[in-house]
Amino acid sequence: MKSLYKAMYGLIVILAVTGCSGGGSTTSQDSFVSGNGVVTYLKSTDRIDAPALAGMTLSGTNYSYGLGRVTVVNVWASWCAPCRAEIPALIALSKKYSEVTFIGILTRDNPPTAEAFARRFAIPYPTLIDDSILIGFKGSLSANAIPSTVVIDRNGKVAGRISGQITVASLSELIEKVSAE
């Protein structure tokens, strides 16, 4: 009788665990962290080099970032509601600040789905599809949420980050602060 109770208890534990885990399958949408829009700015003496920003884009071309311009790097996914909400502001700012380079980095998404999203919104800047680039931000202002937006100074150093959805005001202020240096 004791062994029957142990077997039933074991079965209940297994069912409870697999029931909570979605049957063992996890999707990117279930495991992302959403930021709250906090802006972080680093003094020039506290900055470290940004990673190399190069690779295949959603449009199927090779892209390589070059130093010398202030650069905005937006980490996004097409399934991410805050990413979808901020895209009109990012597009508008990329047009307003034509002297600033804008680059997207797709993370935890299906490239064909993201490419359709980019086409639908006519995103005017390239999006890299290799999210392993994000590892290179470790040690500075890493992309700690989806979306995250990092601003790189003219010397290729990480100058600031917005963790979560940008606003026109928050990103404009960060771009102008770094551009004025």
Q: What is the pLDDT of residues 105-134, one digit of tens each?
A: 999 899 999 999 999 999 999 999 988 898
- What CA–CA distances, in Å, run from 62 to 9, 102, 130? 56, 15, 11
- Give the mean model confidence (pLDDT) for residues 101-105: 96
- The pLDDT value recorded for residue 64 is 94
Residue 2 has pLDDT above 70, yes or no: no
Q: Which residues of the chain form beta strands (DSSP E)? A: 38-41, 54-56, 62-64, 71-76, 101-106, 127-128, 148-152, 158-163
